[in-house]
Structures are given as structure tokens and as C-alpha cells.
Structure 1
């Protein structure tokens, strides 16, 4: 895991980007390289996970071709790829070297062979061009900015945002979804390389962008022996995600997803698996008992990290300070990541992706109901469910309805804030079998990508921790998306197919209780110990002319009267603090984490 950066200058010399801004992503080492003609610059900060020796350092140069690579992420099948290149004289054991030689062997077709989470920039010396790519699900971020002279790119927007402005459309997009959609980031001129895409920047400055995933027109999986097939895919994914030259730990909340990953990892690891659950002396925020039962069952070295309310409150404001892009939902990930990283852990497994694939969200239940409600006249919908339900689109497929359900701001709120109301695209370039799969696609490529995956990356990397997500193994994702809904619902209960595939691993307490999760008392805190922080953030949105003073006052009054959910106001608070930080180009991770 690393932070990467690049600069291509079509006219003149490339200028190094400030790697200190992403030092938290790679505290173990850093490196830079510039092309002989001075027009291409690559930089890297390294969190050493595979090949801890200098032979794993980046930027890495292929001595035969002169190609140069910086990469963020992990390639879990890199040993298999090495076996397909028996003639290579390997210098080390890193996946970086595997990708570098794989490109020399297969060119752009290397992408379809890679299994993992990654974002990379590769300088092709022979073609004098930059080849960049991002993994299929968008687990790892990659941002870029184009100007008259060329292109800059990096793992975080803080490398690129010095000359950027914030538009009303970008503010509206963020407030609608509680996070910036990938097509409309907060900063003008900064774009996100889409997941499953690659791009080439020629030495003339011309750019070619293309999609390499999904590679098939349709996901269609046979449902014979689905639990057995799913189990095999899960075991393979977990086995591959354990590849590391440092210990791999597991987040263990006691829920279905983390318990399954922990069980499989404990069975496959040669050393004892370290597991962590986080407990809080806040009512309703502790799943430690069930987590301990799972840990005992599989003989893990388990640690329950108990945090005081004071520690959690401090982490809330720290999390906001660490954001690379604003988010309403990053706090929990930061709290857990920080607590585990302080124990010396560098790699941890996360259960992210299980809800999206197996129907763990209310959206899977609600989409059919929303389709029926959408047929009612707008005035009737408003009478039933207020302004939010009045905005329900009346001619939408399952994916669009699932996306709509994730909306934070209503049309009326945007109007009162004087903000534009633009549609958010939800492309689906693959044919899926039914509405269950289409809902999964919406959750995977919408809510998960713009919020959960981005938050997982920026919050874990803020404390130099690599999070791995085995449920997002692309072969597993394709198989589950291609299964008919009847197979996923056949076994009953929450995420029935997943539970059936792994029932032998799970204590009944894991799957026989209602779905739980982190539930910080943010509403009470925002009116109490965080009140000053809330006021500062809201005032900043007015001072910066991002939101009208009258609108902010109205929303604050509605929150105090219990008419507005705390997340709506919190999204405004986070926005204010985010811009208040002023993109000062000081890295908060260098100061607040010890």
C-alpha cells in the first residue's frame, strides 16, 4: 500500500508534487523519478507490506525496458502471474516488480490478468507515454487534474487542489449524497479516474480513456450448488488476501461478514490471527460479546479495545481534519482504524461488500415498495411521506430507486439553499439478471464507491493502515451478481445465501440476531459536547458563501426541533470545517496520530 503521484508536462519540465502531503500513506519510505527529458515525474510514499527490502522500493525501474512504475494497492495473484513468466530474472518478491514485468510481457492486456486493489501510473519509455489504471471496483482512488501544460495525478486530491475552486454544483452534489459523487468532486478541475478504467497520456498531451471492466456483456451464473460454489470463491479470496510479509489482522465486530472473514482467515493462516473489536462506554455501541465468542471458536488472539467517550469525541474532530474529500460517514472507520493502528498493525481485513452483494441493506426490501409508491401522484406521495417521498421518481428501474434511497438533501432543500439540482449518473454497462442484482449494482457503484470505499481508504491511510476487502474480489462479485434473486433469498434470514455457505463456521448468535452496527449518539453530541464544533462548521459555510445564512439557520432550527436528521446537518458541518482547513497543504496526519 502506498501513495502515488505523477506529473506530465507537455511543454517544459515536470515539477515534483509535494509528497509530504501523502506521507501518512507511506511512512516507511519515499522516492522520486524523472524522465531523461524532464517531462515525466513519478513519486511514491511507501507502506511496506510485500518485500520489505529495498528491492520493493518505488518508483521501480525495469532495467530491460526502461519502464517505470508507481503503484498503490496489492496484487493478490502476483505469484501466479510470476509463474507465467519463468524466464524473468526476478530481483525481489514484490507485486510491484510483477506488474512491471507483466506490462513488458502483455502490455495493456495485463489489466485483465490482475486480481487485487490498485491504482498505478506506469511510464512507458518506448512509447514515451504514461499508462494509468484503477481497479475494477474502485477500492483504491486515483485523481487527476488537466491544465494547459499537461496532467497531474495522485492518490489524494490534496496533491492537486491548490489552484482549484468549489462550484455550487459540486456543493449540491456533495449535500445530495453525503459524499462527492465521482463524476462531480468538490474541486473544479479535479477528476476521478473511473473504477475499471485505464488511461494513456501520450507525449503530445492527448489522452485516451477506456473501460476494461466489466469485460462481459452479461453476468449470468448457474445456480446449481450455489452455496458450495460461493464457499469456494470465498475461501480463495480470503487466502489470496492474506498475502503479506507482515502480520494480517482482522476487524471483528461480531457481525456476519467480519465473522466469516475471521473464521476463514484463522483456518488458513500459519500464525495465530490477531482480531480486534472496539467497545465504547457509550450505550448501544458495543458488540464485543459476540465478537469474543467468534474469536474463542477459532482461537484468534483477540483484543477488545475499550474507548472512553472522551476518546471517541476527540476522534470525531480528528476524522474531519483528516478528510481528503468531505464525507458524512467517515467517523466510525477512523475510530476503529486508529485504535487498531496504535497496536502496531499494518494490514487488516474488513467485511465491506457483504451487505451490497447479499442483500444486507433495507434498499433490497424497499425498492419494490418504492416502485409502487412512484406510481402515485406527487401530491399523494407528499401527503404520505413528506417532501422526500414527493421527490421519488415515478419512472425508474431498481438501480435508480436504490440510488435515490441514498439521497440526503431533497429537491426543496436544494432550492432553498440556492443550489442546482443535477442528476447523478449511474451507468450499468453490464446486463444483470434481476432487480436484486440491479440494487446490488447501485449499492456497489454508488453508495459504496463514493462513500464507504473512499472513507475506508482515506481514514485507514490517515493512520498508515491498509484495509483489505475480500468480499470485493472481482470473481466473487461477478458470480454473486449473476445469480438469480431466488437463489439469494432461498435460505431466508439476513444474507441467507452467505450464511448458508458458511453456516458451519458461525455461532448461531451471529446470524440469529438483528443486524447491528456502529450507532454513535451524534444527535446528542451535536447538541452537547460538539455544539461549538457544529457552530463553527455551519458558520464557515456562510462565511465562504457556500450556503445562504437563512437556509443554514432554518436547518439548524429544524435539527434542534427534531425535524431534521442529524446526518443532514452534519454534512453541512463537515463541509464548513473542510473548507475552513483551507487546503493549507499541511498534513494533519503528521501531527495528530502518535
Structure 2
């Protein structure tokens, strides 16, 4: 795994500042501590930090073709590179390394922009072709690896693996984008293609961008999308057999490594299935890493131990104290823009543990989205049945009224907490799902933001992110629709972002077998009834794993990777929360309504309401602002004026 950085003059051939390029590359040293190099030519500067995984002796970057006219910097892994080498050699190319990186330059020479269709893996790369005066960039299909870029006023393209790379450039417009703030407080992350800064963007999953010097800069091109056809006629027995074989192939490809390799093992279905499959492919014991919590309400290490014992893995466990909250500022610096998933804390710790023993770790991420594992999916399907039983003209006013009148009852037994369900039933499918996953729902965001900031938003609502993807989903199946929405939003903006930054902070490469695009495409052909059956999520996956995993692992309630925020904010972090939420950093932005901030803090700390998620989201925004101010050559908190 690596970090990439660079500059490209889209209009001419100006020389770039070498010190600037060095700063851009060095700021992501953690992504590649083994080696680093720079390349300069008129109008082009490329930088690379390397974490050596494959071809340790000759895989240095930037890497060139035979005559030096094509150069690439690359972050990721092309898992099928060994299959592509003989095909490219037959086309006349000569390889000088055993690196998957070299496949990219020769594939570009042979297939041009379509080269990305041939790659199976996780990748973000930038390629310069001097003869064609063309700069080409691409990101993998599921957004496992990040790609940030900006087009500056003078025509300079600046790009990097992390936003902090772009922040080194004094020409970057660092004013905060109000729409990004709205998305963050709804979702807990800034959704692709937006970043927190008005002047920077993310290349979206499955996108490429091809720029020819001196020509108008085109919009990025979508080269891949998942289609939920749900038309595979396989029986349950045949589906489980094929799923097992497809998982085996995906895991096998991701076990290719010239450095020590292992796996995360949480005790959940997905990571346990990956470990069980690895054990069947490896002659040696698999290295497994688990985090235990000293709070039994959050601890699932006993289930991880069941799997480790069954497959006699080399199992490493560390216990995280339930008051492990010292990472708040560390996380703000890692993520560069506001990011509100509190499971980033244990994820950071498990990556820290894994790096002590391995350089590459396989994870179980992506299984919930593709196979229907989230509890909210089952809730949504139940709501969909109710929505479908009543005409919209009656349903919307009736449940809309009930949703407004019914009291919020976080304290009550679940059966009496109907306000959210009433609100959801008054909405259409996309709007209801957005409502269910929002951290601060529409009414809360209206209360949170100042009247001045709401004017800056000019009516923009983060729901538009879901609307855009919903329009592209090409399915009216209730489960497939929300799986598609999560694949485009939560999986990329939350899960992949969390794992990439946490792992790279420790120079650890993480590979995700359940996000293999061929596996994802095949799963999208299976009928939804094979994914959720009654109240059982991941039905076909659990059936496939029954011969390999204990029933207690397969069929216990999903726990997740959570931390006790509610208790922290009423106990050891009580004063810190109050200082962060009500202090000068947030007040000076003009974004927030102080009265509502006071309500969030007081109601939570008195025990009247559980506002732990909104408070954490706001705290991480405050931490982002402080970190951004400290790193900025100029103020970074002014809200963008329309």
C-alpha cells in the first residue's frame, strides 16, 4: 500500500516547485515508510511513498514503460496482474519488474482508458503519457482506495491519496463548502464527490478522468457500476456452493504477498468466514488479530476465540479499555475532514495491533452491503410492506401527522418508540431510508444550524445524495435499492474511509475479499429472498458457512464495533464535551445555533435524552476545525458565500 501525489499543468508546461512537491509527498510518509521518490518534467510532478508488499526489490515508483514516455504512481493492488503479464507480453511489451504496478503502464499502452476494465483489485493511480500529452487517473470500482484532486484557478491539477496532500498547496481554495457540512451532519461523512473544502473533490468509485493538455477538462467518466438484476435461477443449495467457491477464489487472490500476512477476526460472520477460508488455503497457521473490550456489553472476543481455536490460528488479542477516548484529536488529523463514525477508535486499535505482527491483513468489510446483513435492512423491508398497503395520498398525511405529534421516547421500551417509524411511513422509499440512517435528521439539522447558515444552504438537503444514486439504481426491488444506496454512500464514505486511514496510519495494508467486484456482481444477481429470509439477514451466506463456522458465530445477534459514547459524555468526557460544543471554535464559524447546542449538551448530560451520536458528530467537527486551523497557511473556517 502506498501514497500518491502530484501536479499537472493542464494548459502548458510550467515547472513546479520541488520543495512544494516534496512537502506534498512527505506529508503522507505514514502511507509508505519504506521508500519514496519524485519525478519532474515540464508541466508534470509525480510523488510516491511506498509500503513494499510485492516485488520488494524492483517495484519502486514512479514507474515507467520501456522508453520512459509513460509514468505511473499507484496506490493499491492489482490482484490479477499475473494473468495479465503473459497477455501483455504477447502484445510486445517487456517487463523489467515482478510488480503489479508495471502492468498498469503496459495496459494503458495497449488498451488506453479501457485498461481499468481489465484490473481486478483496489487501486487509485495517476498516469502521464508524454507522447499523447495525456494525464489519466482512475479509482477502483468500490472505492476501497481514496483519490483526492483539485483543479486550481491557474489550470494546475493537484492530487493525492489524502486531503492533507492537497492542503499543502497554497492555491487550494480551503473555504468550507456549506453543502458538505449539511451532508456531514446528516451522514457522518462528506459524500463523494464532495470534500469539506469548496476547492477539492474526490474521484468517485468506478470513475476515471482523462485530461489532454491544452483541451477543456472533461467530467469524470463512470466505467463501472453494480446492477442488481436479481435474476439468477440458482437453488439455495447451488447458490451456497458457488458462493463458497467464489469467496475462496477472492481470498486466494488476496493472499499473494511477499510480506507477513494475517486477518482481522472480530467474531462476526464476515471476518470469521474470511479466516476460515484462509485456513483452508494456507499450509501454515493464519495470523489473526482481535480487539477485546473490558466492557462486556461491547465485547465479542469470545466468538473470535471460537473461530481461532477451531482453525488453530496464531491469535493475538489486546483489550481496549472502555474509556479509550484519547484518540479524538488523532482521528481528526488522520481523516483531514470531519468524520463521525466512533468505531474509528477500535478500528485504529486493531490496525495498531495487527501491524505488530503482519504487514497485510484481510478484513470482512463489505459483506453487509452485498449480502443484506444490516438490521436496518429488515426494518426497512417491514416498513415497505406497510407503505405498500396504503395509498400515498392517505399514508403521507396520516403518518406525517402522527410523526409530528408522537413524543420522542428514547427512554421507553422499543415497542413504544414509534415516532421514527411514523415519520418513515410518511415518506417514499429513498427518503425513508435516508431518514433512517441520518445521524441528525432533518428537523434536528434545521435546529442545529443558524439562520445565516441555512440561508447559505439555499434549500440544499443531503437527501439529494441519495436521490441522485436512487435515480441510477435501475431497480425497484426494496432490498436491492437500499443495498445500492449503501454501496454508493455508506460503504465508501464511512467504511472504506475508516479502514484506509486507520490502517495507513500504521503502515498496514488491508484487503477486502468481500469487496471483490466479481463477487459483488454475482451477488447482485441473486434474488433478495436468498439474502434476507424472514428475520435472518445474510441467509445464503450463513447457509454456505454452516460447515465451516460454529452456529453461535453465525446466528447470534449482530453486535458491531461500538464504543460507549453515552456513558463517556455523562462521565469522563462530560467537561470536554461541554467545552468543545459550547466553546469559541464552533461559535466563530457562524454555522451553529448556540441554543440548540446547549440543549444537546444539557439534555444528554441530565439523562433526559440520548444525544450521544449528535454530540460525537459535533465534537468531531470541532476537532476537524482545530486541526484544519493548525495545519492551514491561511484561515480555513469561513463558510463559502453563494
- The TM-score with structure 2 as length reference comes to 0.85
In the other structure, the counterpart of 1:192 is 202
Query: Which whole-Å deviations, capped at 9, do the CAs of 1:433-463 have from their partners, x for residues lacking one?
Result: 7222222111211211111111111121112
In the other structure, the counterpart of 1:445 is 488
Please tell me whether residue 92 in structure 1 is matched to residue 97 in structure 2.
yes
SS of aligned partner of 2:297: coil
Please tell me whether residue 476 in structure 1 is matched to residue 519 in structure 2.
yes
Structure 1: how far apart are the matches of 2:228 and 2:556? 38
Please tell me whether residue 2 in structure 1 is matched to residue 5 in structure 2.
no
Query: Which whole-Å deviations, capped at 9, do the CAs of 1:137-157 have from their partners, x for residues lacking one?
Result: 111111111112221111111
- The TM-score with structure 1 as length reference comes to 0.92
Query: Which whole-Å deviations, capped at 9, do the CAs of 1:39-66 have from their partners, x for residues lacking one?
Result: 011111111111111x201111112361
In the other structure, the counterpart of 1:590 is none
- Structure 1 pair 390–168 and aligned structure 2 pair: CA distance change class (3 A): farther
1:203 to 213, 224, 227: 213
1:400 to partner: Cα distance? 4.8
Query: Which whole-Å deviations, capped at 9, do the CAs of 1:292-335 have from their partners, x for residues lacking one?
Result: 1211211211111123446x233454333422222111223212
In the other structure, the counterpart of 2:438 is 407
1:517 to partner: Cα distance? 2.1
1:326 to 338, 344, 356: 338
In the other structure, the counterpart of 2:613 is 567
2:131 to 126, 137, 153: 126
Structure 1: how far apart are the matches of 2:485 and 2:194? 17
- Structure 1 pair 564–116 and aligned structure 2 pair: CA distance change class (3 A): same
1:217 to partner: Cα distance? 9.2
Contact 1:219 / 1:478 at 8 angstroms: preserved in 2? Answer: no
Query: Which whole-Å deviations, capped at 9, do the CAs of 1:515-553 have from their partners, x for residues lacking one?
Result: 122232111112222234323432221133332322321
1:380 to partner: Cα distance? 1.6
1:257 to partner: Cα distance? 0.6
Please tell me whether residue 46 in structure 1 is matched to residue 91 in structure 2.
no
Contact 2:570 / 2:604 at 8 angstroms: preserved in 1? Answer: no
2:143 to 126, 138, 155: 138
CA RMSD of aligned residues (A): 2.3
Structure 1: how far apart are the matches of 2:438 and 2:79? 35
Structure 1: how far apart are the matches of 2:521 and 2:534? 21
SS of aligned partner of 2:149: strand
1:13 to 12, 15, 23: 15
Structure 2: how far apart are the matches of 1:391 and 1:192? 33
- Structure 1 pair 66–220 and aligned structure 2 pair: CA distance change class (3 A): farther
Q: Which sections of structure 1, spanning at least 5 residues, go unmatched? A: 587-594
In the other structure, the counterpart of 1:553 is 598
In the other structure, the counterpart of 2:188 is 178
User: Which segment is superposed worse, 529-538 or 518-527?
Assistant: 529-538
1:469 to partner: Cα distance? 0.9
2:33 to 24, 27, 37: 27
1:393 to partner: Cα distance? 7.8
Structure 2: how far apart are the matches of 1:44 and 1:315? 28
Query: Which whole-Å deviations, capped at 9, do the CAs of 1:148-167 have from their partners, x for residues lacking one?
Result: 22211111111223541113
Structure 2: how far apart are the matches of 1:256 and 1:216? 25
Please tell me whether residue 159 in structure 1 is matched to residue 191 in structure 2.
no
In the other structure, the counterpart of 1:591 is none
Aligned residues between the structures: 580
In the other structure, the counterpart of 1:56 is 59
SS of aligned partner of 1:414: helix
In the other structure, the counterpart of 1:107 is 112
Structure 1: how far apart are the matches of 2:598 and 2:613? 16
1:527 to 561, 567, 570: 570
- Structure 1 pair 183–404 and aligned structure 2 pair: CA distance change class (3 A): farther
Contact 1:403 / 1:447 at 8 angstroms: preserved in 2? Answer: no
2:225 to 175, 199, 214: 214
1:497 to partner: Cα distance? 0.5
1:57-456 equivalent positions in 2, closer than 5 A? 57-64=60-67, 66-87=69-90, 88-149=93-154, 150-161=156-167, 163-204=173-214, 206-208=216-218, 209-214=220-225, 218=229, 220-224=231-235, 225-309=238-322, 312-329=324-341, 330-341=344-355, 343-371=356-384, 372=386, 375-377=395-397, 378-384=400-406, 386=408, 392=424, 394=426, 396-397=428-429, 399-416=430-447, 417-418=449-450, 419=454, 420=457, 421-422=460-461, 423-426=463-466, 427=469, 429-432=472-475, 434-456=477-499
Structure 1: how far apart are the matches of 2:422 and 2:527? 32
Structure 2: how far apart are the matches of 1:86 and 1:167? 48
1:425 to partner: Cα distance? 2.3
Structure 2: how far apart are the matches of 1:218 and 1:282? 43
Structure 2: how far apart are the matches of 1:376 and 1:430? 24
SS of aligned partner of 1:348: strand
Contact 1:76 / 1:241 at 8 angstroms: preserved in 2? Answer: yes
Structure 1: how far apart are the matches of 2:95 and 2:531? 44
Q: Which sections of structure 2, spanning at least 5 residues, go unmatched? A: 409-418, 633-642
SS of aligned partner of 2:192: coil
Structure 2: how far apart are the matches of 1:33 and 1:536? 46
1:395 to partner: Cα distance? 5.3
Contact 1:382 / 1:388 at 8 angstroms: preserved in 2? Answer: no
